[in-house]
Amino acid sequence: MLGVLGGMGPLASAQFMLRLTLLTPATRDQDHLPAVLWSDPRVPDRTAARLAGGEDPLPWLVRGIRGLEAAGCGAIAIPCNTAHGWYEGMAAATKLPVLHIVDAAAEELARQGIPNGRIGVMGTAGTLAMRLYQERLEGRGYDCIVPDEAEMASLVSPGIALVKANRVAAAYSPLAEAARNLKARGAAAVVLGCTEIPLGIQAGPHAEIGLPLIDTIDALALAALRWSGHLPA
């Protein structure tokens, strides 16, 4: 049984559960992966914790892990990129395997025929400041480029906020513009490294952006299905 540590944000967690179901090769209910979603939107803001001295989210994250352990889960997936800034603390708090969303994104890049090279990474200010993608992917041979401060302030952060406010359609324009800017700077693909970003991008004609977009919700769902044996490793 998969444990899903969610609520960061609630819509992204719900989308993860939807995609986990739709990506499963199944013909009946019993073919699907048992899963428990712990959706707790009270977890303190991860970006504020990292950049502005806000409340530490780790105790709340560990509380969710304890609930998933008690439910009998065998592994944990976290459909929130910025929460992975506390990955080591979470992994140390449990004997269960904790799937890493950046590793899942790297596997999806390789699956789409991009094993290395220059790629764009979009995410929250906290995710990019912690270099969660840059450090982990550069070790695999990727050259990561990210939006500049002006693009973060005017495009990416407002787009994420619109999704969190359930204004998903309005998020498409700023997020797509940021992705196109990374393409213009030579990115062969763009990793949508915040689980709100795929929701906003997919609300508009995302194919017109013209390069592979790595949906980290889907990537994490596929990693979970490989863990469970529903897909080949």
Catalytic residue list: 80, 194
CA–CA separation, 172 and 213 (whole Å): 14
Max alpha carbon distance in the chain (Å)? 49
Six-digit token string for 220: 């994490």
**SS3 (DSSP) at 131:** coil
Tokens 């990210």 belong to: 146
Three state DSSP letters for 140-199? CCEEEECCCHHHHHHHHHHHHHHHHCCCHHHHHHHHHHHHHHHHHCCCCCEEECCCCHHH
| DSSP string of 63-109, one letter each residue | HHHHHHHHTT-SEEE---SGGGGGHHHHHHT-SS-B--HHHHHHHHH
CA–CA separation, 62 and 150 (whole Å): 35
Residues 16 and 195: beta-carbon distance below 8 Å: yes
